[in-house]
């Protein structure tokens, strides 16, 4: 878009602020035309984030990156170049995450089983429910159980579905192992000692957070319908117990 200045009679080109990238990829920081293409991110090159890094990110969320502040306080070519490089890195990671979110969401939607429809009267039973699958992702029964839980969570997003890998993976780097599991559910890694008194893997723990009850069941050949039925039964049991313990209104 061009601006016409009254009294002058000719168009004035738009002003570009530092760091701005319009649709034609011009930039006040770069001579000539800047390519709009972002470098392709290699997921294997990304190291797992520690809890300390997560805490630091949350504490600094919404603040400008250090490279931007340094460039604004000391606008040298080196500092401006570092700011541009940081911007492109952030855009590259954000683009990769958005692409993977679209792919995973599309896969989850196609995995929803047609027999999982719940009558409207039963929908509240899916609220405040948590389903944690304890597994060994290197074994086929565990991977099948992951898919069953994924299908259920895709159909009922109110269910808090989680995965707990028991023991460290021996299949190379953590990022490679997570990519092989290929799940959108949150994954925790537990020491093997935590499962000494628990049943064989995979094992599913269903918790009713509203009534404080839980149920553990084997998940070797579990289906999404079976998980749903167990959730409905657990909620119905909690509601019945609550009615017995609640004194009648005067």
The tokens of 78 are what? 């080196």
| CA gap 38, 13 in Å, rounded | 27
Which pLDDT band, with edges at 50, 70 and 90, does 16 fall under? Answer: very low
Q: Which of 16-30, 84-98, 109-123, 166-180 has the highest mean pLDDT?
A: 84-98
Give the CB-side neighbour count of residue 156, counting CA atoms within 13 A: 30
Above 80 in pLDDT, residue 181?
A: no
Please give the pLDDT value at position 33: 45
- Of the listed ranges 26-40, 57-71, 138-152, 219-233, the least confidently predicted one is 26-40
Taking the C-alpha atoms of 100, 103, 109 and 111 in order, what is their torsion angle to the nearest 10 degrees?
Answer: -100
Residues 95-131: tens digit of each pLDDT? 877 777 777 766 665 655 555 555 666 678 889 999 9
Q: Specify the DSSP element, H or E, that contains 133.
A: strand 129-135
Average pLDDT over residues 210-236: 93
pTM greater than 0.75 (yes/no): no
Residue 45 or residue 19, greater confidence: 45
CA 208/CA 159 separation, integer angstroms: 10
Task: Tell me the CATH class for 127-245.
Answer: alpha beta
pLDDT for residue 32 is more than 90: no
Distance, in Å, from the CA atom of 211 to the CA atom of 233, rounded to the nearest integer, reads 13
- Rounded CA-CA distance 151/155 in Å is 6
Q: Where are the domains of the chain?
A: 16-48+55-107, 127-245
223 to 12, 27, 87, 150, 167: CA distances (angstroms): 66, 54, 45, 10, 24
Using CA atoms, how far apart are residues 54 and 40, in angstroms rounded to an integer?
24
DSSP code for 127: T
pLDDT band at 9 (very low <50, low <70, confident <90, very high): very low
| Per-residue model confidence (pLDDT) at position 10 | 41
CA distances, 52 to each of 49, 56, 164 (Å): 8, 6, 21
The better pLDDT of the pair 200, 160 is held by 160
pLDDT category of residue 8 using cuts at 50, 70 and 90: very low
Q: What was the pLDDT predicted at 154?
A: 85
| pLDDT per position as a tens digit, 82-105 | 999 998 888 888 887 777 777 776
């Amino acid at each position: 878009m061009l601006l016409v200045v009254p009294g002058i009679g000719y168009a004035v080109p738009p002003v570009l602020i530092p760091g701005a990238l319009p649709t034609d990829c011009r930039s006040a920081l770069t001579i000539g035309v800047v390519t709009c293409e972002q470098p392709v991110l290699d997921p294997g090159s990304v190291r797992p984030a520690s809890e300390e890094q997560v805490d630091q990110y949350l504490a600094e969320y919404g603040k400008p990156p250090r490279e931007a502040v340094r460039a604004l306080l000391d606008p040298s070519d080196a500092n401006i170049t570092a700011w541009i490089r940081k911007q492109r890195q952030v855009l590259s990671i954000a683009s990769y995450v958005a692409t993977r979110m679209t792919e995973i969401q599309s896969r989850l939607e196609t995995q929803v089983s047609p027999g999982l429809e719940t009558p409207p009267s039963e929908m509240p039973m899916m609220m405040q429910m948590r389903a944690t699958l304890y597994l060994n992702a290197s074994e086929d029964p565990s991977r099948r159980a992951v898919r069953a839980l994924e299908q259920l969570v895709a159909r009922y997003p109110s269910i808090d579905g989680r995965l707990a890998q028991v023991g460290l993976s021996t299949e190379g780097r953590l990022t490679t192992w997570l990519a092989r599991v290929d799940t959108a559910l949150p994954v925790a890694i537990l020491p093997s000692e935590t499962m000494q008194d628990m049943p064989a893997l995979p094992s599913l723990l269903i918790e009713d957070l509203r009534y404080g009850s839980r149920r553990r069941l084997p998940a070797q050949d579990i289906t999404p319908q079976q998980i749903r039925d167990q959730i409905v039964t657990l909620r119905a049991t909690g509601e019945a117990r609550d009615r017995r313990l609640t004194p009648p209104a005067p």
